[in-house]
Amino acid sequence: MKNFTSVYDIDHLRDLIAKALKIKKNPLGNPTKGKGKTIGLVFLNSSLRTRLSSQIAAQNLGLNVLTLNAAQEAWNLEFADGTVMNGDTVEHIKDAIEVLNQYCDIIAVRCFAGLKSKEDDVKESILSQFLKHAKVPVISLESATRHPLQSLADCLTITENWPFDKFGINRKPKVVLTWAPHIKPIAQAVGNSFAEWMQQMDVDFLIANPEAYDLDKNFTKDTKVVHNQDEALKNADFVYVKNWSSFEDYAAMPQVEENWMLTTEKLKSTNNAKVMHCLPVRRNLELSDEVIDGENSIIYQQAKNRIFSAQVVFSEILDELK
């Protein structure tokens, strides 16, 4: 694995999941693998889980970790090429990345969608600069259109909760990604990414969202999309809840009449579904307290699995460096 920015950077998902779950059994089993190497974790946006799970994963491998909360602590970055920098921006992203090349053996970066220009976000205007200028492997900690470390953790969590051999279950689980309400425009990255990874998993996958909220077809591809949440939830084994803003009317929040918040009442038509959310979650807006705190919620297991998704990816990248 040279870089890790999407599911297309890995060869065999099933093997990667198996390796990650093996690491989970013994996270400190390879404590010197990263000895003498440095990973730079660059955050252009806020984070709790990604920052901490990546730090734990790196430390478990013996990597030196540099964490830069760039939006708060670094110079104000310029992203546009050819700009006369006589305004508020102090350092060009090109120069910042060239300097990171001097300090780091791996660069990991979080760079959310700006949600101002569809064109800039679709072309990954920031991540692409890292891929262009970095001379070391680049890992996405969530970019404008994808959140691959989250999706890998989601795959681990689904695998752990669909134990074929334990119960002799011999059918694919029905996995539903359902849109949820929010108070402000949120990027499509988690939904896009989850769709791409589910397409590679042995599951029956369905997306439910209001009409004006269809995700980009480049990510959903042939996945069935329905606009009726009740219909989608019937017999679901996993329900993944996430908000996103409109892709078509980019970053807008068209009015939705029905209440899409996931409640225990809505879960009654499912197959006792496990409930997932990447967090952070707006309680009693996206999901009810009762669902989040209920026995079918596996959201904290997902959060824990962020460590092992990061650790297996760092480990695979370290193999390439040797």
Residue 48 or 285: the one with the smaller Cβ distance to ligand CP is 48
CB of 150 to ligand CP, least distance (A): 5
Note whether 82 and 101 are within 8 A (CB): no
Q: Which is nearer to ligand CP, 47 or 315 (CB)?
A: 47
Total residues interacting with ligand CP, rule: CB under 6 A: 9
Q: Find the part of the chain contacting ligand CP (CB under 6 A) among 57-65, 67-75, 199-207, 272-280.
A: 272-280
Edge-first strand listing for the sheet containing 106-110: 64-69, 38-43, 106-110, 138-140
Q: Could you tell me the CA-to-CA distances from 244 to 145, 185, 194, 212, 251 in Å, in that order?
A: 11, 7, 12, 11, 8
Asked whether the bond before 280 is cis by omega within 30 degrees of 0, the reply is yes
CA atoms within 13 A on the CB side of 54: 30
Site string for ligand CP, 79-108 (x = CB under 6 A): ------------------------------
- Residue type (1 letter), 9: D
Kindly state whether residue 184 participates in binding ligand CP, applying the rule CB under 6 A. no
Its sign, for the CA torsion 64, 68, 69, 72, is positive
Bridge partners of 68, per DSSP, are: 42
d(CA 155, CA 297): 16
Residue number, 153 or 262, with CB nearest to ligand CP: 153
Write each residue from 44 to 83 as x if it is in contact with ligand CP (CB under 6 A), else as -, in one continuous string: ---xxxx---------------------------------
**CA distances (Å), origin 161, targets 127, 155, 296, 309:** 33, 10, 11, 16
Q: Which is nearer to ligand CP, 78 or 299 (CB)?
A: 299
Closest approach of ligand CP to the CB of residue 109, in Å: 13
21, 65, 279, 281: which one binds ligand CP (CB under 6 A): 279
Q: Which of 96, 278, 299, 317 binds ligand CP (CB under 6 A)?
A: 278
109-148 residues in contact with ligand CP (CB under 6 A) are 142
The pair of structure tokens assigned to 202 is: 């042995």
Contact residues toward ligand CP (CB under 6 A) are 47-50, 142, 150, 278-280
